[in-house]
Amino acid sequence: MIGLKKVNGEEFQLKKENNQEYNISDKKINEKYEKGEFRIVTEQARYPIKSIPDMFMDGVLTGDYKLNPEYQRRKRWSDEKKSRLIESFIINVPLPPIFLYEYEYSQYEVMDGLQRLTTIIDFYKGDFSLKGLEYWRELNGQTYSELPHAIRRGIDRRYISSVILLNETAKDEEEAEELKQIVFERLNSGGEKLEPQETRNALYNGKFNKLCIRLSTNDKFRKMWRIPNENELKKDNHGYSQAEIDRYKEMEDVELVLRFFAYRFLNEYTSNSMRNFLDVYLIEANKWSDNTLVELEDIFENSIELVYEIFGKEAFLLPKSKGKQSKKITKTIYEPLMQSISKYLDYKESLLKNKKEIRENKFSNQEDLTLENGKKLFDGKYNHRSVIEKRIEYFDKLFELYIK
């Protein structure tokens, strides 16, 4: 069988945690504090919420505001949750501040509070009607322009406060990124739970993370996983299920790309903590050279292209059960199939020539589809490294039949 080729500069080794305790004198600790090491400089501001749409949307055009820096989560609020925010303005419930970071003098990006800001902007634009209000049910179904005059005036006079991390907080770009990530993590330690990839996106953003985000927009990849994009979700009849919408909102598409690359170092996966494995891999991969990332980008896109050309939109569906084709798209097929086919990119012509037979025989080897304990190889109940390797080996055997 053909082995997995690594590209130049693609190196990763899972390091053991260093539990060393820092034994430093009080004098040194005091000196460190007095020097202002790792200390955040802030100021505060208040904005009438009526000014938010013009202030931020004009600021986006002029470059004074970034509403969606990479470490922010995607828009996740439903119309009911948006409406609850507007109801809070109506009854004057105190709200936590938004957090901005001054990345250049007088230029800001939103660190925390994107959902609130975009809700305010969308409400004033009339992009959603109030829904599910608890104390002002009589306003359900109305947009901002349809509200009674007194209610509109009441909302208009509310303010939202902000905490601004000033530019002088960090001495260089690297420290700025670290401080932003620390603040984001602490701000999001409570409230709505962040999914693993949302946390990675916030804490470990870098060149490789941005590559994963870009590759997740690949059209054929999205078709095989049925992942919508932001524009599709704006349509009333977009045709996606809630589970498929959540897959996008929770950045599962980006994690799927990350998994493809991380599984190239499956030999380093020695525990049951896949989350930790992906975390550490991303941190290390962010350090790789641009040339290495270009080569990896080609491998991912060529692998996706070949999988799609052979198997079509059904590529990652589970095997038939009791004569019926499963409709479930699953990682237990995606991960090994992508790993395996990436080994055979040099044999693309032969594989495409035999794609009909490959499709027909995809799950024909019944003996290899069953583990020693009688469990099915791809049912997802077992995800130890040895099982993952067996899944990759299964597809290796399939492709080996059709290469010259």
- For residue 375, count other CB atoms closer than 10 A to its CB: 12
Residues in the chain: 404
Determine the pLDDT at residue 293: 97
Residue 260 scores a pLDDT above 80 = yes
Determine the pLDDT at residue 124: 95
Residue 265 scores a pLDDT above 70 = yes
Beta bridge partners of 48: 159
- What mean pLDDT comes out for the span 355-376? 82
Give Cα 25 distance to the centre of its chain.
Answer: 42
Q: Give the position of tokens 């809630």.
A: 242
C-alpha to C-alpha distances, 369 to 376, 381, 386, nearest whole angstrom: 6, 14, 14
How sure is the predictor about 19, in pLDDT bands with cuts at 50, 70 and 90? very low
Residue 401 scores a pLDDT above 90 = yes
Determine the pLDDT at residue 33: 66
Q: What is the mean pLDDT of the chain?
A: 86
Determine the pLDDT at residue 312: 96
Answer whether 120's CB lies under 8 Å from 49's CB: yes
Residue 306 burial by CB count (10 A; 0-12/13-18/19+): exposed, middle or buried?
Answer: buried
Residue 374 scores a pLDDT above 90 = no
How sure is the predictor about 291, in pLDDT bands with cuts at 50, 70 and 90? very high
pLDDT in tens, 34-79: 666 656 788 899 999 999 999 988 887 788 888 776 555 676 788 9
pLDDT in tens, 123-176: 999 999 999 999 999 999 999 999 999 999 999 999 999 999 887 766 777 677
Token pair in block for residue 64: 């004074």
Residue 186 scores a pLDDT above 90 = no
What is the DSSP code (8-state) at residue 313?
A: G
Token pair in block for residue 398: 């399939």
Q: Give the position of tokens 């948006």.
A: 82
How sure is the predictor about 327, in pLDDT bands with cuts at 50, 70 and 90? confident
**Poorest-confidence range of 127-136, 183-192, 205-214, 244-253?**
183-192
Sequence-distant (6+) residues with CB within 8 A of 346 are none
Identify the three-state secondary structure at position 47: strand
DSSP string, 155-216: HHT-EEEEEEE-GGG-SSHHHHHHHHHHHHHHHTSSSSPPPHHHHHHHHS-SHHHHHHHHHT
Token pair in block for residue 384: 């130890």
Determine the pLDDT at residue 148: 96
Residue 328 scores a pLDDT above 70 = yes
Determine the pLDDT at residue 159: 94
Q: Which of 346, 286, 343, 296 is nearest to 8 (CA)?
A: 296
Determine the pLDDT at residue 236: 76
Residue 20 scores a pLDDT above 70 = no
C-alpha to C-alpha distances, 371 to 263, 270, 272, 366, 391, nearest whole angstrom: 21, 20, 19, 10, 10
Give Cα 75 distance to the centre of its chain.
Answer: 11
What is the DSSP code (8-state) at residue 17?
A: P
Token pair in block for residue 215: 């590759």
**Poorest-confidence range of 173-182, 203-212, 330-339?**
173-182
Determine the pLDDT at residue 200: 85
Determine the pLDDT at residue 381: 72
Identify the three-state secondary structure at position 42: strand
- What mean pLDDT comes out for the span 193-217? 86
Angle at alpha carbon of residue 61, lines to 84 and 122, rounded to 5°: 20
Determine the pLDDT at residue 23: 63
How sure is the predictor about 3, in pLDDT bands with cuts at 50, 70 and 90? confident
